[in-house]
Structure 1
Amino acid sequence: MKIAVIGGTGLIGSQVVRDLNEAGHEAVPHSLSTGVDILTGKGLDAALDGADVVVNLTNSPTFDDASPAFFRTSMDNLLAAAERAGTGHFVILSIVGVDQVPELDYYLAKTLQEDLLKAGPVPYSIVRATQFMEFMDATLSWTADDDTVRLPRTPLQPVAAADVAATVAEVAVGSPLDGTLDLGGPDTYPLDEIGRITLAAKGDKRSVTVDDTAGMFAVPQGDVLTTKEGARIAPTRYTDWLK
């Protein structure tokens, strides 16, 4: 099976390409560096030529109110190119609970991306993942100083990028879901506890202070960013990943 992986050189994309090729498929990575521009459409027809599946793992360069325009333009271009190429399956990666946080511009933009795919002309699958383990350091840095990290108690369910990539690869070579698969890590913690676990594992002596107004993850209410019944649970535990 030939799979065009748009955004195939990034954190998730490069692992999806590797997993698919190791499984005997022909996965081809595409990005700006390979001459494919999803905002202008340059190179898209060539990238999707002969592809059975397109996997779109690109992301907006910003998380602000400019992000909806990125996803609208890129999805319009990709869906049109996929239809011209006769591609039979279109896969995107999204976020668990993304449609439950309309206060965040980026979450609104990702919800728009999902809606455009659902309304498009190509059979589709959406993989929604919880927050990546690889991004926890950055999350802590948003509200940190030399002595203290301020974090809300928002429940998160960290998932390893490798587990996300494996799931995306599996979905890509299966029949279109015409629906959504949720994926989360095996353990759920309040974010302030994730902060303490992370700092301890790294020998970082800073303290964690609960601040339910601190950072982007102070916005979601309740446990909307964690999986519900019927979701797939990935195998990698955050404490093992940290080691």
Structure 2
Amino acid sequence: MNIVVIGGTGLIGARVVQQLRALGHDVRAAARATGVNSFTAEGLAEALEGAETLIDVSNSSYTDGAGAQEFFSGSTLNLLSYGAAAGIRHHLALSVVGTDRLARSEGGYFQAKEMQERLIRDSGRDYSIVHATQFYEFIRSITDAATIHGIARLADALIRPMAADDVAAAVVATALDAPRNGMLEFGGPEEFQIAELARRELRFQHDDREIVADPLATYFGAALAPRELLPGPHAALSTRTFHDWQVGKA
């Protein structure tokens, strides 16, 4: 199969490209580093020429609502229009578990992600949307973003994180299947309080910052209900535990 991965040099994209190539597929990694910009459309027509499937795992460098909305609207509309012209038969986008709920209650970045999904759903193109939970690899950055004066005040909420390799595997499996014209959820095997998980990761890295589960703390600007980031009961769950992931990267 001929597949283009938008954001194909990033954390998830590079893994998606690697896994697809290992399966024998013809894959192009499309990113600014390879001369393709989905927001400006630079190099996009050439990258999509002859492709059957488009996988979009790109992300906005802005987490504020206005910046994220500008990126996702421009990029998604370009991918849909250029994809239609190229004859793309399956448009797949990676998004976040809880996006729909947080878009309604908090707006901001999550509203931008919900808008991206809506543009895809309303396009008339065959598509799949993958909702994944937080990545183990992002626990450190989540903690850093919540740290002020050496204390990390994290939202008092639950998550089911998963390894980036397993997120990539979920994207690959979905891309190689027929378009779902709907959303699929994926999560990790264990449920954690965000602060508990951050504490375990920092101690593993010999980082002695104080971690506090704060009911008033936000998650990248969003106030969270305790179970708002958890997948639904029909989500597919990976098997790689947080401990196994830590040991594997040590």
Q: Superposition pairs for residues 129-140 of structure 1, below 5 Å? A: 129-140=132-143
The 8 Å contact of residues 38 and 77 in structure 1, kept in 2 or not, is answered as yes
Aligned equivalent of 2:111: 108
Match for residue 238 of structure 1?
A: 242
Aligned-partner Cα distance in 1 for 2:166–2:23:
15
Structure 1 runs, 4 residues or longer, greater than 4 Å off: none
SS at match of 1:216: coil
User: What TM-score, normalized by structure 1, do the two folds share?
Assistant: 0.95
Q: What aligned pairs does 1:34-49 form with structure 2 within 5 A after superposition?
A: 34-49=34-49
Q: Could you tell me how far apart the structure 1 residues matched to 2:31 and 2:146 are?
A: 32
Q: Does 1:26 align with 2:26?
A: yes
TM-score (norm 2): 0.92
Quote the offset at 1:145 in angstroms: 4.8
SS at match of 2:147: coil
Aligned to 2:130: 127
> Quick check: 1:97–1:224 contact (8 Å CA) kept in 2?
yes
From the superposition, tell whether residues 34 and 114 of structure 1 become closer, same or farther in structure 2 (CA, over 3 Å). Answer: same
Give per-residue Cα distances to partners, 1:156-208, cap 9 Å, x unaligned. Answer: 11111000001101111110011111010101111121122222222333332
2:226 counterpart residue number: 222
Deviation at 1:210, TM superposition (A): 2.4
Give 1:56's aligned amino acid: D
RMSD of aligned residue pairs (Cα, Å): 1.5
Pairing 1:1-80 to 2, within 5 Å after superposition: 1-64=1-64, 65-80=66-81
1:212 counterpart letter in structure 2: P
Amino acid at match of 1:46: E
**Larger mean Cα displacement after TM superposition, 97-106 or 4-13:** 97-106
Q: Which runs of 5+ in 2 are unaligned?
A: none
- What is the CA deviation profile of residues 20-45 of structure 1, one whole-angstrom value per residue up to 9, with x for unaligned ones? 01001111101112221212222111
Structure 1 gaps of 5+ residues are none
Q: Which AA in structure 2 matches 1:232?
A: A
Counterpart Cα distance in 1 of 2:235 and 2:122: 23
Contact 2:155 2:224 in 1 (8 A): no
Q: Distance in 1 between matches of 2:146 and 2:46?
A: 44
Is residue 83–residue 121 contact of structure 1 (8 Å, CA) maintained in 2?
A: no
Report sequence identity in percent. 37
Contact map agreement 1:146 1:206 (CA 8 A) in 2? no
